Structure 1
Amino acid sequence: GIVYFLYHPVLWPSFARVVAPLFVILLAVMGIWFAIAYPPHAVIFVLMNGPVGLLSSAFMVCRQAYMIYGILARTFFLKKELRNLFDMILKLKGLEDLLANASLDFAEEIDAEFYTRIQQSVIYKLRARYRKFVFRMTSPYLLFKALILFPIQFIPVVGPLIMALMNSVDIARAAQARYFQLKQWTPRDIRVFTRRRYGSYWTFGAVAGVLETIPVLGMFFSFTNTTGAALWAARLEKKARRKSPQS
C-alpha cells in the first residue's frame, strides 16, 4: 500500500486535505491533556519511582493524549477521506460497477432527510456509543477482555505493539469494511469470508496495526493501509469473478 500510494499522485489529495487540521488537533490535544493530566501523573510516578517518574509520567500522558487524538481524528476527519480513497482505488482497478451499491448509502438522505439529519447529530452518535458501551460493560467476556487489555496499551513501546498483534484480524476487517459494505454482506458473511483467510487477515492486520501505532506518522499509514486494503479487495473481487463469471 505504501509504494502504490507514493507512486500515484492522484491519491495524495485525500491525505493533503486533512494534514493541517490533524496537526492543529494534535497540538491542541497534547497541550490541553498535558496541562490537565501531567501534574497528577507526575506526583504519583515520582512517589513510586523517584525523579525518573517525571519522564515516565510524561511518556504516559503523551500516549494518552495521542489515543484521544486518534479517536477524534478518525471520528471527525479520516472516516470520509479513507472511504473516498478506497473507492478511488477500486475505480483505478476497473471495479466501477462495484461502486454502484454505494448509492444505497445515501437512500436515507433522499427518502428521509430529517431522519438522516438526526442520525448524524452528535446526540444520536453519543447515544449509540453509550448503548454500545453498556452492552460491553454488561457482557462478562467483553468486560474481562477490556479490563485485561486496557492497561496493556499503556506499557511503553511494547504495549501498543501487543495490542496491534492481538487485534490484528479485527484491524484487517475494519480496513476492508468498505468492501464488505459494497458487497452488501451480513456480519455472518464477513466472518465466514475472513475465517477462510485467517492467516492473510492476521498478517495484514498485524503490519497495519504496528504501523498505525507510530506517533504522528500513524495517520499517514492509515491512508497507506487503506490503500493496501483496497488493492487486496480488488484482487479478491477479480479472483472471485474469474471463478464465477455470472456473479
Structure 2
Amino acid sequence: MSNNFVESVQSKAQEVAKEDFSRAKVLINDAAKSGSYLYPVKGIVYFATHKSLWKPLLSKLAPTIALSVGVVTSMFAFTYLPQLALLVFVNGPLAVFTTVLLILSESATIISLVSRNFLLQDALLDTFDGTLVSKNATGLVTEGRQLKSGADPIDRLGKILKSPFSRFSPKALVRYVMYLPLNFIPVVGTVAFILVNGRSRGQSVHDRYFQLKRWSASQRSSWLSEHTGPYAAFGTVATLLEMVPVASILFSFTNAVGAALWAADIEAKENQMSHGTAPSLRETAKKAE
C-alpha cells in the first residue's frame, strides 16, 4: 500500500513537471516568435537617435540621478554585509555576486517606487505618447490627450485627458518581498527571482496603450493572458536594464520608448484592434506572427 502511494505521488509529480515544462516551452516559443525581447533594445536605439524624446528625461535628470546614487550607495553601505552573511550559508563563494544582484534589484525597486510616484510619472507618460506621435499613431494618442500642430513630437503634446500610470501597488510590493527568499537558492534562485519580477513588470508596460484603446479590464486580462510569453520576455529584459546602477532611470525612459514602439507596431499590423470591442485574440496572435 505504501509503495503504491509513493509510486502514485511520483507519477503525479512527473506529470505535473511535464505539464509545467511543456507550458514553459510554449511561453518561450511565443516570446521568441514575437521578438518582444528586442523592443527594450530598440527603445535604446530609437531614444538615442531621436533627440526630441530626450526632453522629458532632461527635465528630471538632476533629481533622479541624485535619487539613484543615494539609494544604491545607501543600500550597499547598510545592507550588503548583513545580506551577504545570510546568503553565504546557501550560496557559498557565489554569495558575493548574488548579494550584489539582490541589492541592485532591491535598489531598482526602491528607485522605481519613489521616482514613478513623485518624479517621473508625467515625464514617462510624455515619452510614451511622444514616441507614438513620432510613429504617426496620432489618432491613438488623441484618445488620451490633446495634440498641437507642429513637427516635434514632444512639443505637440497638449493637455493630458487621461493619466494611466497608477501609484505603486501594495500587491506588487508584497509579491516582491514574498519572492525574495528565492535568492537563497544559488544562481538558479536569483535568475528565477529576476524572471518572476520581469513577468510582473511586463504586465504593466502597455497600461497606457490599453487605456488609449479603451479596453475594459477583462479585455486587458484576456490579451495579457494570451500573450504571457512576449510580455514576460519584454519585462525581463526591461528589469535587467533597470537594475543597472544610476543608469536605471535612463533605461526607464528607453523602456517606455520600447513599449511605445511595440504598441505602434501592434497597431500598424492589427487594424481590427482599433475597434472598441475586444479583438479575436487567437487570430490576432496568429496574424502577428
Q: TM-score by structure 1 length?
A: 0.67
- Which of 265, 271, 285 aligns to 1:235? It is 265
- Which of 208, 215, 223 aligns to 2:253? It is 223
Letter paired with 2:220: I
Contact residue 175 and residue 229 of structure 1 kept, 8 A? yes
Stretches of structure 1 that go unaligned for 5 or more consecutive residues are 110-119
Shift of 1:87: 0.3
Shift of 1:190: 1.0
- Structure 2 residue 211 is the aligned partner of structure 1 residue 169: no
Aligned match of 1:112: none
Query: For the residues of structure 1 that align with 2:130 and 2:173, how far apart are their CA atoms?
Result: 35
Shift of 1:240: 1.9
**Which protein, 1 or 2, shows the higher relative CO under an 8 Å CA cutoff with sep ≥ 6?**
2
Shift of 1:232: 0.7
Give the 5 Å matches for 1:20-99: 20-30=62-72, 41=82, 63=104, 64-65=106-107, 67-99=109-141
- Structure 2 residue 49 is the aligned partner of structure 1 residue 7: yes
Shift of 1:204: 1.6
Number of aligned residues: 217
Shift of 1:61: 9.6
Aligned match of 1:114: none
Contact residue 80 and residue 100 of structure 2 kept, 8 A? no
Same amino acid, percent of matched pairs: 30
Shift of 1:38: 7.1
Aligned match of 2:220: 190
Helix, strand or coil at the partner of 2:120: helix
Shift of 1:37: 5.6
Query: For the residues of structure 1 that align with 2:122 and 2:185, how far apart are their CA atoms?
Result: 31
Deviations 1:113-159 (A, max 9, x none): xxxxxxx9xxxx7xx96xx46x997xxxx6xx853x02336889876
Helix, strand or coil at the partner of 2:245: coil
Aligned match of 2:5: none
Query: For the residues of structure 2 that align with 1:203 and 1:65, how far apart are their CA atoms?
Result: 21
**205 and 67 in structure 1: CA distance in 2 versus 1, 3 angstrom threshold:** closer
Please, what is the CA RMSD of the aligned residues? Answer: 4.2
Deviations 1:84-108 (A, max 9, x none): 1110011111111212221499669
Q: TM-score by structure 2 length?
A: 0.58
Contact residue 87 and residue 99 of structure 1 kept, 8 A? yes
Deviations 1:152-198 (A, max 9, x none): 36889876643331233332231111101111212211121122223
Query: For the residues of structure 1 that align with 2:256 and 2:136, how far apart are their CA atoms?
Result: 17
